[in-house]
Structure 1
């Protein structure tokens, strides 16, 4: 990553929500963003296609300000469909229209080679645990 940044390239970490290392140690993702990396969240992950654990972690990444853009991850129409519209609708419901606009603007800036600044970001909150006693 240092070598890429030394060449003026901003690394974009693809689907960190599905990375077991980040799932086990979420502070590692924070450290990458703090060092200047961006992240690309898979829309299908956000919608629960890869299970509820990944869906929950994706929301926590977004809530921490560590998710910058959505990716379709649509390799083909049979297996991985294009779910961007549904992901943006869910994002608006959970995080507001400003977040949708911010993520869409980030995608345009990346495509155009423009710099983008992260919004406020912080460490990912631990997953809430519920205990049932009998």
Structure 2
């Protein structure tokens, strides 16, 4: 299983702060039966400096540790790229990283909503053969209020990722309900942990998958895990026909 969203590299953002924390997260990843992790430190976020040289150094240090310890896991490069009008150029210039050197770009929107210029940026990315993957769509306030906003982004060529902790309930029932609503409306394509730390923001990778299985949503488990693999292969994702988000399903999820 591949984790497509992880803040596991030390000292780059609000994820792991030390190499010891990175080592602990790797141990937990192996316990979760993950075989690969795409490291996605924040890029162009207002609260964190983007330093590709530091990222590459930390990536190499962590890979060396994995090799030395003979750990059964692989680490891939990537970034969680904050929405910016310069993003298409930054990617072309090698100043921003795609997921595992593929054409897929993990795109972070402001948590408060979906800016008006999101669609033009998505269109520019698609025109340059990149595929934006909207990170933790279920935690965006604009999408929570109007899920059709996500559908609009998908119609322009974007994909969407859900966070394992949202599915498992780690972020509360309201976020969990939104996650399930988007999943069951076929508006989610990729699955990631968005792990930051063992204590505050753990993997919850299997916890989310297990709950999907419990809710008889086995098809989505298969699609998410397959699509995660397809990102590494840089091939087209499996996409189901988007549906309208149904209302009044709270009792279904938590009964």
Structure 1 runs, 4 residues or longer, greater than 4 Å off: none
Instruction: For residues 18-57 of structure 1, give each alpha carbon's deviation from its aligned partner in whole angstroms, at most 9, with x where no partner exists.
Output: 1001111111111111222111100101111111111101
Which structure carries more relative contact order (alpha carbon 8 Å, separation 6+)?
1
Question: Residues 105-120 of structure 1: matches in 2 within 5 Å?
Answer: 105-120=226-241
Counterparts in 2 of 1:103 and 1:129: CA distance versus 1, 3 Å: closer
- Shift, 1:129, TM fit: 7.9
Q: For 2:158, which of 33, 37, 40 is the aligned residue?
A: 37
Counterparts in 2 of 1:105 and 1:47: CA distance versus 1, 3 Å: same
- Shift, 1:91, TM fit: 1.1
Q: For 2:181, which of 55, 60, 75 is the aligned residue?
A: 60
Instruction: Determine if the alignment matches structure 1 residue 86 to structure 2 residue 210.
Output: no
Instruction: Give TM-score, length-normalised by structure 2.
Output: 0.48
Which structure has more strand as a fraction of its residues? 2
Contact 1:72 1:82 in 2 (8 A): yes
- Shift, 1:128, TM fit: 4.7
Say what the alpha-carbon RMSD is for the aligned residues: 1.7
CA distance in 2, matches of 1:3, 1:128: 36
Contact 2:189 2:237 in 1 (8 A): no
Instruction: Determine if the alignment matches structure 1 residue 122 to structure 2 residue 243.
Output: yes
Which structure has more helix as a fraction of its residues? 1
CA distance in 2, matches of 1:41, 1:129: 19
* Gap runs ≥5 in structure 1: none
57-66 vs 89-98, which moves further: 89-98
Instruction: Give TM-score, length-normalised by structure 1.
Output: 0.89
CA distance in 2, matches of 1:50, 1:21: 17
Q: For 1:14, which of 126, 135, 139 is the aligned residue?
A: 135
- Shift, 1:117, TM fit: 3.5
SS class of match (2:215): helix
